C-alpha cells in the first residue's frame, strides 16, 4: 500500500516538531510482523511525545502512536498469520520504533497480541495502552489483597483515559469507586461509568499530617505529585495504591508512617510487559475486566484531527479515550 500517510515526529529532544507525511513500506523499521493498521489511540504519553513536553521520543524521526490495532499482512513468526486481528502496543512502539499513527507498521513479535474473541480492532484500540494499564493496575491490586467488601477505591484524573476505564472495570467488579476530577461538570459521565460518588479535586480532603483519617482501601493514581502524597496519608490499613502516572508531577514527598504503621503498599505500574503477562491481561480485558461502557468512553475521530486531540490532552481537556481512524484517511 505504498505510499501511506503517517504522523511523523522529527527534530531533536529540545526541538520537537510533528506533522503528517507520506512513508513507504521500505522506510518501516525491522520486525517479524507487518500490520495494516486501522485504529490508533491518543494517550497522555503520545501528547507529550508529539509536543516535546516530555522526553519521550528516543529516536528521531519516529512515527508517533504507542498503540494501534489492525490486521496482519505478513508474519515471520508462527504466533501470527496474515488476516489475524491484532493490537500492537508498548515497549519501543511510537517511542524508538515507528508507531501507530500510520497506515502500516512493522514490529517485533513480542509487541503484538491477538485481539481476543469478542473484541473488535476498534474495541482493542479503544482500550489501548490506557485500558491495558488500568487492567494491570487492577490485577496488581488484587494480588495485594483488595476486595469489594474492604472499602472504597479512589480513582483520580477521573475523566482521563486510564481512569475512565479503571472506573468502569472496578465498578463492574463490585467496588465502590470514588472518582476525583478537576472537571466536576463531568460528574454525570463518571457516574454512568460506575462511579458511586464524584469529588472535585479542589474539594478532596487529604490534610497534611503524616497520617490522616483513612478513607480508601485502594487508589488508582494517574497524577503523581501532591495528589499522590495526599492519597498515601489517607489510605487505610493494608491498602494498595497503584502508581500509574504523572499528570500532576513526578515528585512527591511522604513520610514512612503510612507504610510502617498502616502497611500501605505503593505498587508501581508499568505497561512494558512480557508476552505471558500481556496475554493474561488481554484475556481479562475480553473477559471479567471487559469495560461495559466502551462506546461511552471512546470517541472515534479522523486521522486529520490528531493534532487537535493532542492539544486537548496537553491542556487537560481530554475526556475518555480518543481513537484515531486510520483506514479512512486520504
Ligand atoms: N505506567 C504506565 O505504563 C502508563 C500507561 C499509561 C498511562 N500512564 C500515565 O498515566 C497518566 C494518565 O494517562 P492517560 O492516557 O489516562 O491521560 P489523559 O487521558 O490525558 O488523562 C489524564 C487526566 O488527568 C487529569 N489531569 C491532566 N492534567 C492534570 C494536571 N496538570 N493536574 C492534575 N490533573 C490533571 C485530567 O483528569 P480530570 O480533569 O478528570 O482530573 C486528565 O483527564 C499519564 O501520566 C500517563 O503518562 C502510564
The answer on pLDDT for 4 being more than 70 is yes
The answer on pLDDT for 150 being more than 80 is yes
Please indicate, yes or no, if residue 279 is contained in any of the structural domains: no
Q: How far apart are CA 69 and CA 281, in angstroms?
A: 16
Task: Write down the pLDDT at residue 327.
Answer: 79
Residue 245: CB within 6 Å of ligand 1?
yes
The answer on pLDDT for 199 being more than 80 is yes
Task: Write down the pLDDT at residue 54.
Answer: 87
- pLDDT tens track for 91-124: 999 999 999 999 999 999 999 999 999 999 999 9
The answer on pLDDT for 329 being more than 50 is no
- pLDDT tens track for 306-323: 999 999 999 999 999 999
Protein residue closest via CA to atom 12 of ligand 1: 222
- pLDDT tens track for 255-296: 999 999 999 999 999 999 999 999 999 999 999 999 999 999
Please indicate, yes or no, if residue 92 is contained in any of the structural domains: yes
Q: Are 163 and 155 in contact (CB under 8 A)?
A: yes
Whether the model pTM is above 0.95 = yes
Protein residue closest via CA to atom 2 of ligand 1: 270
Domain hosting 101: range is 4-114+293-325
Residue 193: CB within 6 Å of ligand 1?
no
SS3 203: helix
Q: How far apart are CA 176 and CA 193, in angstroms?
A: 12
- As beta bridge partners, residue 324 has 40, 301
Q: For a pocket test of ligand 1, which of 162, 231, 273, 315 has the largest count of ligand atoms closer than 8 A to its C-beta?
A: 162
Please indicate, yes or no, if residue 27 is contained in any of the structural domains: yes
Q: What CATH number has the domain bearing residue 50?
A: 3.90.180.10
The atom number, within ligand 1, closest to the CA of 136 reads 3
Mean pLDDT of the chain: 97
Q: Left if phi > 0, otherwise alpha if psi is -120 to 50, otherwise beta: which for 11?
A: left
Confidence at 330, pLDDT banded by 50, 70, 90: very low
Q: Count structural domains, the chain.
A: 2
Q: What CATH number has the domain bearing residue 160?
A: 3.40.50.720
With a pLDDT cut of 90, the percent of the chain lying above it is 98
With a pLDDT cut of 70, the percent of the chain lying above it is 99
Amino acid at each position: 500500500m505504498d505510499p501511506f500517510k503517517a504522523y511523523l515526529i522529527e527534530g531533536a529532544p529540545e526541538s520537537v516538531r510533528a506533522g503528517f507525511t507520506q512513508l513507504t513500506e521500505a522506510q518501516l523499521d525491522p520486525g517479524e510482523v507487518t500490520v495494516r493498521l486501522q485504529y490508533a489511540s491518543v494517550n497522555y504519553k503520545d501528547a507529550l511525545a508529539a509536543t516535546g513536553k516530555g522526553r519521550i521520543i528516543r529516536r528521531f524521526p519516529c512515527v508517533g502512536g504507542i498503540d494501534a490495532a489492525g490486521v496482519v499482512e505478513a508474519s515471520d513468526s508462527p504466533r501470527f498469520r496474515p488476516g489475524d486481528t491484532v493490537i500492537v502496543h508498548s515497549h519501543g512502539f511510537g517511542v524508538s520504533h515507528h508507531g501507530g499513527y500510520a497506515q502500516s507498521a512493522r514490529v517485533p513479535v513480542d509487541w503484538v497480541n491477538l485481539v481476543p474473541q469478542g473484541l473488535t480492532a476498534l474495541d482493542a484500540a479503544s482500550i489501548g495502552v490506557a485500558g491495558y494499564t488500568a487492567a494491570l493496575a487492577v490485577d496488581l491490586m488484587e494480588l495485594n489483597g483488595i476486595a469489594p467488601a474492604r472499602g472504597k477505591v479512589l480513582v483520580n484524573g477521573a475523566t482521563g483515559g486510564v481512569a475512565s476505564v479503571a472506573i468502569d472495570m472496578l465498578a463492574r467488579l463490585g467496588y465502590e469507586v470514588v472518582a476525583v476530577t478537576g472537571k466536576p461538570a463531568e460528574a454525570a459521565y463518571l457516574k454512568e461509568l460506575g462511579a458511586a460518588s464524584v469529588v472535585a479535586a479542589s474539594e478532596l480532603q487529604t490534610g497534611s499530617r503524616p497520617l490522616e483519617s483513612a478513607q480508601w482501601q485502594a487508589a488508582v493514581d494517574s497524577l503523581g505529585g501532591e495528589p499522590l502524597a495526599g492519597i498515601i496519608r489517607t489510605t487505610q490499613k493494608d491498602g494498595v495504591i497503584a502508581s500509574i502516572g504523572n499528570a500532576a508531577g513526578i515528585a512527591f514527598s511522604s513520610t514512612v508512617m503510612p507504610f510502617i504503621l498502616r502497611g500501605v503498599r505503593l505498587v508501581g505500574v508499568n505497561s512494558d510487559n512480557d508476552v505471558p503477562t500481556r496475554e493474561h491481561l488481554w484475556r481479562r480485558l475480553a473477559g471479567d475486566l471487559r469495560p461495559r461502557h466502551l462506546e461511552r468512553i471512546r470517541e472515534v475521530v479522523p486521522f486529520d484531527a490528531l493534532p487537535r486531540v493532542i492539544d486537548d490532552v496537553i491542556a487537560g481537556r481530554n475526556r475518555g479515550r480518543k481513537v484515531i481512524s486510520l483506514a479512512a484517511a486520504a
